[in-house]
Structure 1
Amino acid sequence: MSAPSTATATATPAPQQINVADLELPQLAEVKRQLEEELSHLTSSFAQLKQAQAKFRSCIESAKEVKPENEDKTVLVPLTSSLYVPGKLRDVENVIVDIGTGYYVQKTRAQAVKHYEGKIEYIKTNLDALQETIQKKQDNMSYLVNIIQSKLQHANKRD
């Protein structure tokens, strides 16, 4: 016979909130460094999303340029944003769409435009949320800098 097992639940303690005004200058400097890193990462992510949004807008323009009057004409086909090769348009109703991770599908021009508009809208939603987060972090940074300056002034008055 084995003894019944008893499991003790260990509750994860809730994170403590600390008033930054109570921290010493070296601790404040570390918090400031962490905030700067977070802001740098967030602004970099914001810039990358903006670039992706511009790329999708460019894709929409490319899809709209495929017109029936260009059938069998030699055109420059974009392979990348800076590499174009000559080619002839045989099917002006359909385009090949990069749907990500190296997968391509055939869509009508209207479907391609709708696909890329959806991507742009999704990125816009993320950009809006990211902008709000960046603003909050910048506000936190301003508050932190004010506290550091206040503590430095107070320390200089004692000397």
Structure 2
Amino acid sequence: MNQKEVNLTSLSIQQLDEIRKQIELELNHLTSSFTKLKQAQFKFQECKNAIYLLSKEEGENKEMLVPLTSSLYVSGILVSKPEKVMVDIGTGYYVEKTIEGAIKFYEERIKYLTTNLKDIEGYVNTKSSNLKVVIDIIQEKIKNSAISVD
């Protein structure tokens, strides 16, 4: 995409208002994406912690309910110190991994999301600065137009 720099002070208040709306829209989208990535990062961290705790669990096998959907559960047995676990790799697909492999998988996902979160945070800061500049110019133009009317 070829972007061209525009002197914001040369634009009309209506044009600046359109730019403000566009930046706010982009900022809302970035903020929403940031929140969703943060939730995914938390979910992966919880999965990693659960697998780690499961690998340290001692004692007898325990009965439990396994969720198949949000309202359907089946009986299952939680094996103490399992060698392998099923890992959700996304879009409804699961793979069998060793405990170490599963922990490594989630650590890689967490690292990837952390990188993306830092990138999005940078974009949010840039967009916020741009929005502040546009709002300041709009306010200055409104103030100047009020002075020239007097």
TM over 0.5: yes
In 2, distance between residues paired with 1:139 and 1:82?
Answer: 46
In 1, distance between residues paired with 2:117 and 2:85?
Answer: 28
* Structure-2 residue corresponding to 1:26: 14
Which deviations, in whole Å up to 9, do the C-alpha atoms of 1:86-139 show, x marking residues without a partner? Answer: 521247111000111221111111111110010000000000000001000000
In 2, distance between residues paired with 1:102 and 1:37?
Answer: 31
* Structure-2 residue corresponding to 1:153: 143
* Structure-2 residue corresponding to 1:54: 42
What pairs with 1:88-107 in structure 2 (closer than 5 Å)? 88-90=77-79, 92-107=82-97
Segments of structure 2 that go 5 or more residues without pairing to the other structure are none
In 1, distance between residues paired with 2:108 and 2:72?
Answer: 26
Which deviates more, 130-139 or 101-110?
A: 101-110
Aligned: 1:130 with 2:138? no
Maintained 8 Å contact 1:70/1:92: no
Larger radius of gyration: 1
* Deviation (angstroms), 1:15: 3.7
In 2, distance between residues paired with 1:106 and 1:70?
Answer: 23
What pairs with 1:108-127 in structure 2 (closer than 5 Å)? 108-127=98-117
Identical-pair percentage: 45
In 2, distance between residues paired with 1:56 and 1:82?
Answer: 22
* Deviation (angstroms), 1:17: 1.8
In 2, distance between residues paired with 1:131 and 1:100?
Answer: 25
CA RMSD after TM alignment = 2.3
In 2, distance between residues paired with 1:65 and 1:86?
Answer: 21
In 1, distance between residues paired with 2:25 and 2:63?
Answer: 50
Please report the TM-score for the alignment, with normalisation by the length of structure 1.
0.83
* Deviation (angstroms), 1:85: 5.5
